[in-house]
Copies of this chain bind each other. A is one copy, B any other.
Amino acid sequence: MRELGADQLDDLARGAGILGTGGGGDPYVGKLLAREAILAHGPVTLLDIDEVPPDATVVPVSGMGAPTVLLEKLPAGTEELTALRALEAVLGRRATHIVPIEIGGMNSMVPIAAAAQAGLPLVDGDAMGRAFPETQMVLPTLIGVSTTPMALADDKGNTLVVDAVSNLWSERIARAACMVMGCQVSCADTVLRGDQLRDGLVPATLTLAEDLGRAVRLARAEHSDPVAAATRLLGGIHLLTGKVVDMERRTTGGFARGRALLEGPAGTLELSIQNEHLMAVRDGAVVATTPDLICVLDTDTGEPVTTEAMRYGLRVTVIAAPCDPRWTTPEGLALVGPRYFGYDCDYVPLAGVRS
């Protein structure tokens, strides 16, 4: 158990931005929301998974939509709490703990804001160990936990509660509603009991994000290589350092989709995007695939570059790091592997990384 205050948010947002593999929404916006909530309601209590009672009602809250939309349509800051209250109404009981659904940009920060607003402790972990674009792509799906009831709230005050026959159906229905609600809504879903956290979460990822953000900041202060520091901490590999020379972007089906082409002295790298970086192809060969983490960092500063911030001329370094091992099981790959996303390619383990 420790306290999470406004001073820790810079490191945490930076690290979460890296772990978010380009997705999860702009960490800057999330940081403002979390800071505002902490200043208004005081610091948040952060608990290890082991410190949560087995009968606890742990509720992930998050933003859903296309990060490209979030750039122009800022949240009101009240949506997560509205979604949480709508969920509690159908559950018939109150949440006892808040947890991030994913580690990634804004979606690591809004649970901090919601925990502060609701006066609830926050659990150190998340349901992916990275960011994924779709709501069924969570470890709870692998252990048979339903993502529904799923409550959605928008900035206008509309709410929605989905109760679906499968987590995929919930995604379809919620995504369609999300699109018409402005492609940016907040969710409370995938309720976990305290005794399901070990199987349903990747533990200590908020702490990992903070460590990662701090390592990058310290390397920068010491004039050493911040990208190398991040790569080391993640046990990852270097894919390419270069310049963004082409960027194809469209917001369709409720997602930010696209393709980025990078050129560097060592070759070219093509990234495929659905909110997150999903595939990396170096000089024609697949070198990293979902569910492993493909992270784009500013080469000089080590700051994470989200997919919606990628633009021509940006000098970046792309690294890859292994995902939580549960994602590379057959069941995990069926849910989040390359073929689910329509790539005609199997999962390729990262070269030179111990799994």
Residues in A lying within 8 Å of B, measured CB to CB = 86, 89-90, 156-165, 169-170, 172-173, 175-177, 179-181
The 8 closest A-B pairs by CB, nearest first: A176-B180, A157-B165, A176-B176, A159-B163, A161-B161, A158-B164, A172-B180, A177-B177
How many copies of this chain sit in the oligomeric assembly?
Answer: 2
CA distance in complex: A162, B165 (Å): 18
Q: Is there an interface contact between B173 and A160, defined as CB atoms closer than 8 Å?
A: yes
What residues of chain B lie closer than 8 Å to A176, measured between beta carbons? 176-177, 179-180
What residues of chain B lie closer than 8 Å to A161, measured between beta carbons? 90, 160-161
What residues of chain B lie closer than 8 Å to A163, measured between beta carbons? 86, 158-160
What residues of chain B lie closer than 8 Å to A181, measured between beta carbons? 173
What residues of chain B lie closer than 8 Å to A86, measured between beta carbons? 163
What residues of chain B lie closer than 8 Å to A157, measured between beta carbons? 165
What residues of chain B lie closer than 8 Å to A89, measured between beta carbons? 90
Q: List 20 A-B contacts (CB under 8 A).
A: A86-B163, A89-B90, A90-B90, A90-B161, A156-B165, A156-B169, A158-B164, A158-B165, A158-B169, A158-B170, A158-B173, A159-B163, A159-B164, A160-B163, A161-B161, A173-B180, A173-B181, A175-B180, A176-B176, A176-B179
Shortest CB distance A9–B (Å): 32
What residues of chain B lie closer than 8 Å to A169, measured between beta carbons? 156, 158
Extra 9 A-B pairs, beta carbons < 8 Å, given A90-B161, A158-B173, A159-B164: A90-B90, A158-B162, A158-B164, A158-B169, A159-B163, A160-B177, A176-B176, A176-B179, A177-B177
Shortest CB distance A174–B (Å): 9
What residues of chain B lie closer than 8 Å to A159, measured between beta carbons? 162-164
Shortest CB distance A151–B (Å): 9
